[in-house]
Amino acid sequence: MKPLDWTVTARDGNARTGTLTTRRSVIETPVFMPVGTQGALKGIRFEWLEDEIDARIILGNTYHLFLRPGVETIIEFGGLHKFTSWNRSFLTDSGGFQVFSLTELRKLTEEGVEFRSHLDGSKRFLSPEVSMEVQAALGSEIVMVFDECPPGDAGYDATKASLDLTVRWAARSKARFDQLQAEGMDSGFKDPPADTGGSDLSGKQSLFGIIQGAGHLDLRKESLERTVEIGFDGYAIGGLSVGEEKSVMYEVLDFIAHKMPEDAPRYLMGVGTPEDLIEAVNAGVDMFDCVIPTRNGRTGSAFTSQGKLNIRNAKFATDDRPLDPDCSCSVCRRYSLGYLRHLYQAGEMNASIMISHHNVAFFMETMRRTREAIRAGGFQSFRKEFLDKLKANATGGV
Ligand SMILES: [Zn+2]
């Protein structure tokens, strides 16, 4: 039995809609996946995500969950779904990105990466095998291979060497993943409790490969070919939005996305702004994740159809309009800019919660409109209108 089902349902240029079905949810693409770093979306309860925002898949971070609460605790609960009570799909990253970006002290070898936990300084180790074992214990529907993430400004030779290592690690990830699936996924850890019902540990995860190569197009192409040769259920573009110029990111996307296999979902990791999402869909990408809706929400920054808005701005003090007149989320239906600004200025946690809520709802709504436009064959006019509105605001239009 296949771990996931993927069907392309409409095309408009390189942009496409599709249906991704896991054992836990049916996901319409292009999709934005909110990030639940520590097993929770910051400020947003799962009830809101399910009932109102209608997220069908969220991310969990292997690095963070590996360090805290730790794999043993999650196995004790019978997997990440039972632990968190999120019953729809999870995609877990491999932990690689965090190891390379969060930890100062690390030792990279062919075998894996030794690093010190950012929590208590303890010595830890991640490798393709360990990452697969941790993600098996988490029980996510989509597992990512363990890759090396070179910095955005890495030179050609360093990028090539990193890419070679990532390909070797992808093959090792796949080998260990296949073993774990055959063994019922919990091998390498103690037996799961008998009452899990087996649903979290039933051996039906899928594995995505990751294409690296920084801004070097020939290396991107080589990475794609060698990753496809190993063979995965889906393919991701990694190593973008890591400090390179935006034009480089768009150039890589336009070059590589439509070359990725038609018959598998394409996932752009860790990107990005609403504008980035629309441009990546235009290049042929199906899936996204990013922390910015909640990160910006916490600092009072809202994404709207008219561009970005800072709730601290004094001009909103007596403004009785919603955050975004075009948004139908529960925050915009009920609360005014002036009230939200007051809450933010007063240090009330509701300000961060409500702006984060709106931001996630806005990203989801943007993807819903994108899917509609593609299905109707009007993606290019939708894209132009969407980007023009943002531009008008950036130049002082609103
Ligand atoms: Zn809203």
pLDDT at 213: 95
Ion ligand 1, residues whose Cβ is below 5 A away: 327, 329, 331-332, 358
Tell me how far the alpha carbon of residue 297 lies from the centroid of ligand 1, in angstroms: 12
Distance (Å) from CA 199 to ligand 1 centroid: 35
Q: Give the mean pLDDT of 3-31.
A: 96
For residue 27, the domain's CATH number is 3.20.20.105
pLDDT in tens, 157-176: 999 999 999 999 999 999 99
State in Å: Cα 325 to ligand 1 middle.
8
Please enumerate in sequence order all residues whose Cβ is within 8 A of that of 261, keeping only pairs 6 or more positions apart, or say none: 228, 235
| Residue 289 known to be catalytic | yes
Do 106 and 21 lie in a common domain?
A: yes
Dihedral sign for Cα 242, 244, 249, 250, please. Answer: positive
Widest distance between CA atoms in the chain: 62
* Phi and psi at residue 318, to the nearest 5°: -115, 25
Q: Which domain holds residue 334?
A: 297-394
Asked if residue 265 and residue 175 are part of one domain, the reply reads: yes
Task: Grade residue 193 by pLDDT with cuts at 50, 70 and 90.
Answer: very low
Query: Residue 42 contacts by C-beta under 8 Å, 6 or more apart in sequence?
Result: 294, 295, 298, 356
The strands making up 26-29's β-sheet, listed across from edge to edge, are: 5-12, 15-21, 26-29
> What pTM value is reported for the model?
0.94
Q: How many residues does the chain have?
A: 398
C-alpha 331 – ligand 1 centre gap (Å): 5
User: What pLDDT, on a 0 to 100 scale, did the predictor assign at position 27?
Assistant: 97
Task: Tell me how far the alpha carbon of residue 70 lies from the centroid of ligand 1, in angstroms.
Answer: 35
Give the distance (Å) from ligand 1 centre to CA of residue 330. 7
Task: Tell me if residue 310 falls in helix, strand or coil.
Answer: strand
17: three-class secondary structure by DSSP: strand
Choice among 93, 200, 276, 286 that is catalytic: 93
Residues 213 and 347 occupy one common structural domain: no
Q: What is the rounded average pLDDT of the residues 240-269? A: 95
Which of the following is catalytic: 200, 276, 289, 324? 289
At 393, the pLDDT band (50, 70, 90 cuts) reads confident
Mean pLDDT value of segment 8-24? 96
In the residue annotation, 164 being an active-site residue is answered as no
Total count of domains within the chain = 2
In this predicted structure, the answer to whether residue 185 has a pLDDT above a threshold of 90 is no
Query: Same domain, yes or no, for 255 and 304?
Result: no
Cis amide leading into 193 (omega within 30):
no
User: Do both 245 and 364 map to the same domain?
Assistant: no
**Residues 41 and 57 grouped into a single domain:** yes
Three-class SS state of 184: coil
Residues 200 and 223 in one domain: yes
Distances 155 to 161, 162, 244, 253, 321 between C-alpha atoms, Å? 10, 11, 12, 19, 49
* Residues 357 and 376 grouped into a single domain: yes
Last residue of a domain, one of 265, 290, 315: 290
Domain boundary among 244, 259, 290: 290
Q: Are residues 275 and 342 in the same domain?
A: no
Peptide bond between residue 377 and the one before it cis (omega within 30 degrees of 0): no
Same domain, 366 and 331: yes
Q: Are residues 279 and 316 in the same domain?
A: no
DSSP readout, 326-379? T--SHHHHH--HHHHHHHHHTT-HHHHHHHHHHHHHHHHHHHHHHHHHHHTT-H
Q: What is the pLDDT of residues 73-112, one digit of tens each?
A: 999 998 999 999 999 999 999 998 888 887 676 899 999 9
241, 260, 290 — which closes off a domain?
290
Three-state secondary structure along 196-239? HCCCCCCCCCEEEEEECCCCCHHHHHHHHHHHHHHCCCEEEECC
Ligand 1 mean position, distance from CA 305 (Å): 10
Summarize pLDDT for 309-323 with one digit per residue, the tens: 999 999 999 999 999
Q: Are 103 and 156 in contact (CB under 8 A)?
A: no
Return the closest-CA partner of residue 8 out of 210, 234, 169, 178. Answer: 234
Q: Is 110 exposed, middle or buried (0-12, 13-18, 19+ CB in 10 A)?
A: exposed
Q: Please list, residue by residue across 354-387, b when 16 or more beta carbons sit within 10 angstroms of its beta carbon and e when fewer do.
A: bbbbbbbbbbbbbbeebbebbeeeebeebbeebe
Q: Which residue has the higher pLDDT, 390 or 260?
A: 260
Query: Residue 198 corresponds to which tokens in the numbers above?
Result: 């087996």
Terminal alpha carbon distance of the chain: 53
CA–CA gap between residue 65 and residue 46 (Å, rounded): 18
Residues 6+ apart with CB under 8 A from 389: 305, 306, 307
Pick the more confident residue, 395 or 160: 160
Beta bridge mates, 160 = none
- Going from the Cα of 324 to the center of ligand 1, the distance in angstroms, rounded, reads 6
Same domain assignment for residues 276 and 341: no
**Tokens 């990203």, residue?**
363
